[in-house]
């Protein structure tokens, strides 16, 4: 009975997430960009992607959607990815990685790593790009971005990481934002705990295998690429981002931290074309231009 109830909860969350994202963007005039689909032929399985075609003078963005490693897909983030590609003038590949509970940890992280490796090694055959990549993602996707880049130190074609309010630590860590903003926005502390528990499927916070999900003391950030880190004040994950910023600074990573003091989790991706969304797009565009500058 418990398994059945959990499956019903997952289905309900997925339906609600798709619906709310669709409603947020339904009256927005979205840009027209050539898109195409591609199944990445990874060693043991294939992963679906959607490519948004941009300029050959810009890096290709590999994008991992949010949703607690449990919900979200190519459709929930389609408007956001379309706008990000249009504003930055970059080609973008949105990755439809496997989700829990059907595929628990480390499935999403292995998909993210394998997909990124395949894309980097096959840039000449993909949407227009300058031979370089930026890995990006929001929330759980920001976590996949962090974890993937940490496993590819000094990869010369990986020029940057764009992490939007990433999950960086297990909720057992002592973070005030989990209490201060437990119910301040669409992502609540109970939901984040459920996401984490569902994905980890019984693994304890101290299990050493979780290091690839939450890079900690055993992970060096030496060789980590230039980064743009975005956090929101009214977000249980606020302190995740702050701690990551300090860790990257300590490792002498070129990191830019932008904190949105009036916003909650989801503001650039799931609320439609708000002023905060527009400010984020301007930041991302300027940052990409700096990376692309000769």
Residue with the larger pLDDT of the pair 8 and 95: 95
Strand pairing class (227-234; 133-138): unpaired
Q: Compute the distance between CA of residue 163 and CA of residue 228 in angstroms, rounded to an integer.
A: 6
Report whether 159 contacts 132 (CB < 8 A): yes
Neighbours of 118 (CB within 10 A): 16
Number of domains in the chain: 1
Residue ranges making up the domain that contains 238: 34-292
**Looking at the whole model, is its pTM more than 0.95?**
yes
- Looking up tokens 């998909």, which residue turns up? 111
Question: Is 15 a member of any domain?
Answer: no
For residue 246, is the peptide bond before it cis, meaning its omega torsion is within 30 degrees of 0? Answer: no
User: In 3D, which of 98, 62, 58, 108 has the Cα closest to residue 81?
Assistant: 62
Question: Is 18 a member of any domain?
Answer: no
Question: Is 12 a member of any domain?
Answer: no
Report whether 144 contacts 182 (CB < 8 A): no
109 is catalytic: no
| The pLDDT of residue 45 | 85
Question: Is 61 a member of any domain?
Answer: yes
Sheet containing 227-234: order of strands: 35-41, 46-52, 92-96, 60-64, 133-138, 158-164, 227-234, 255-264
Report whether 159 contacts 134 (CB < 8 A): yes
Report whether 161 contacts 253 (CB < 8 A): no
What average pLDDT does range 12-30 have in this prediction?
95
Q: Which domain CATH number covers 146? A: 3.40.50.1820
Residue 118 has pLDDT above 70, yes or no: yes
What's the DSSP call for residue 294? -
259 is catalytic: no
Q: Mean pLDDT score of the chain, rounded to an integer?
A: 95
Question: Is 22 a member of any domain?
Answer: no
Strand partners, 61: 92, 134
Question: Is 3 a member of any domain?
Answer: no
Residue 236 has pLDDT above 90, yes or no: yes
Q: Which of 73, 235, 239, 240 is catalytic?
A: 235
Q: Compute the distance between CA of residue 179 and CA of residue 107 in angstroms, rounded to an integer.
A: 29
What average pLDDT does range 229-251 have in this prediction?
97
Q: Where are the beta strands (DSSP E) in the chain?
A: 35-41, 46-52, 60-64, 92-96, 133-138, 158-164, 227-234, 255-264
Q: Which of 91, 94, 116, 139 is catalytic?
A: 139
* Torsion of Cα atoms, 98 then 18 then 128 then 119, to 10°: -10
Report whether 227 contacts 160 (CB < 8 A): yes
What average pLDDT does range 106-124 have in this prediction?
97
Q: Compute the distance between CA of residue 242 and CA of residue 247 in angstroms, rounded to an integer.
A: 9
Q: Which of 265, 270, 277, 292 is catalytic?
A: 265
Report whether 72 contacts 143 (CB < 8 A): no
| The pLDDT of residue 1 | 62
| The pLDDT of residue 42 | 87
pLDDT above 70 covers a percentage of the chain that reads: 98
Q: Compute the distance between CA of residue 257 and CA of residue 165 in angstroms, rounded to an integer.
A: 11
What average pLDDT does range 244-269 have in this prediction?
97
What's the DSSP call for residue 32? P
pLDDT band of 220, cuts 50, 70, 90: confident
What average pLDDT does range 244-255 have in this prediction?
96
pLDDT tens for residues 24-83? Answer: 999 999 999 999 999 999 887 899 999 999 999 999 999 999 999 999 999 999 999 999
174 is catalytic: no
Question: Is 11 a member of any domain?
Answer: no
What average pLDDT does range 1-25 have in this prediction?
89
What average pLDDT does range 241-267 have in this prediction?
97
Question: Is 24 a member of any domain?
Answer: no
Report whether 127 contacts 93 (CB < 8 A): yes
């Amino acid at each position: 009975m418990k398994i059945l109830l959990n499956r019903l909860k997952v289905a309900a969350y997925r339906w609600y997430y798709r619906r709310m994202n669709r409603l947020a963007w339904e009256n927005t005039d979205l840009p027209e960009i050539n898109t195409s689909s591609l199944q990445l032929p990874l060693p043991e399985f294939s992963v679906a992607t959607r490519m948004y075609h941009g300029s050959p003078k810009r890096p290709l963005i590999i994008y991992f959607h949010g949703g607690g490693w449990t919900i979200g897909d190519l459709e929930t983030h389609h408007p956001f990815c379309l706008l990000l590609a249009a504003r930055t003038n970059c080609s973008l590949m949105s990755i439809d990685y496997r989700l829990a509970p059907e595929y628990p940890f480390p499935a999403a992280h292995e998909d993210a790593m394998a997909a990124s490796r395949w894309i980097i090694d096959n840039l000449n055959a993909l949407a227009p790009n300058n031979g370089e990549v930026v890995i990006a993602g929001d929330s759980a996707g920001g976590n996949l971005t962090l974890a993937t880049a940490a496993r590819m130190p000094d990869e010369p074609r990986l020029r940057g990481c764009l992490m939007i309010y990433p999950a960086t630590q297990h909720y057992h860590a002592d973070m005030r934002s989990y209490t201060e903003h437990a119910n301040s926005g669409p992502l609540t502390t109970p939901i984040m705990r459920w996401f984490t528990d569902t994905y980890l499927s019984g693994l304890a916070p101290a299990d050493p295998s979780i290091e690839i999900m939450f890079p900690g003391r055993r992970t060096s950030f030496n060789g980590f690429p230039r980064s743009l880190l975005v956090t929101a004040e009214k977000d249980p994950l606020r302190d995740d981002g702050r701690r990551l910023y300090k860790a990257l600074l300590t490792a002498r990573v070129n990191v830019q931290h932008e904190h949105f003091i009036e916003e909650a989790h989801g503001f650039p991706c799931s609320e439609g074309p708000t002023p905060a969304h527009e400010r984020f797009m301007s930041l991302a565009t300027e940052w990409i231009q700096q990376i692309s500058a000769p």
